[in-house]
Structure 1
Amino acid sequence: MDDRIDALLADIEAADTAAQAHARRGEFGDEVAGQAVERTLLERLRGSLGSTVQVMMSDRDITGTASFLGRDIVVLAGTEFSAIAISAIRGLRLTTRVHRFEVGGLERLGMGSALRRWSAAHEEVSIDIVDRAGGIRGRCALVAADYVEIAGRIIPFAAIGAVHARINPFE
């Protein structure tokens, strides 16, 4: 009889311990959810620097190692280097859940800076336009404050989804 009472008391104690653990997990989950509300996509991208990232755009996916985060762009190193406009990103797959809060000193550099560096290196680039299939390939003839001239066309930065080249513009 004592064994059955001991087993019953042990069972009640185990149930109470499990209930307390469940409540703690719930509180932890609530705390995580509360903190997540304050996190941004830029902090998540900053935390993914150096890791593999898959960027989903409207017409294709680009996979590579996140090597640079700038003003409104992320640069991936894959089979080629791609400067991708954050506004053109339709989804992401990241290998890390890290958020990094410290802003890098070069994060003020954006698409114009990347295009100017590629232009200075006489690098051939391919520009993906946001709402159009196919890219425009050539060397940048002129990189202005808010547009680039390439292959006889003037393209506003706002229309650029991504730019691809063989070299990293920020190294």
Structure 2
Amino acid sequence: MSVLQFVEGLSDRQAAAAVRGRIDWKLLLGLELPDPGFDHSVLSEFRDRLVADQPPRRMLDLILDRLQEVGLLPRPGGQRTDSTHVLAAVRRLNRLENTAEHLRSALNALAAAAPDWLLQVVPADWFDRYQRHIEDYRLPRGEGPARSTWSRPARTAYSC
């Protein structure tokens, strides 16, 4: 699951949605087609167990090595992609998603409690960026704004 998330640059919520709605993911994970999937929160618990337990982590390293050998997992800058790198990248996306969702929720609460104050204080582009749930976006894969794929919706009135 973590490898699929890493390759496609998906957060935990997006990955859980992919398991629910994509046949290729269900087949890769050995799930039956009618399988309802799982809640996104189990993925961070899974990663924590994976990091703490050496044998499963070694197995993940072997899987990553094999995927790189057959060309299914590109090597960033020619370097070896080990499980630490993969798990850290997925964890970063999950933290970004959680931070953005908390900010969106706070902006919604402020919009209900003090809409005039909010319009004066918050930059206009925040309304565009945080009006939708973060899982509706394609999160950035690289560092810095030049490599970001975080698409922004068209400007509309702020409400949820």
Same fold flag (TM > 0.5): no
Higher Rg: 1
Query: Shorter-chain TM-score: what band?
Result: under 0.3
- Greater relative contact order (Cα < 8 A, sep 6+): 2
Q: TM-score, normalised by structure 2?
A: 0.23
Q: TM-score, normalised by structure 1?
A: 0.22
Whose helix proportion is higher, 1 or 2? 2
Whose strand proportion is higher, 1 or 2? 1
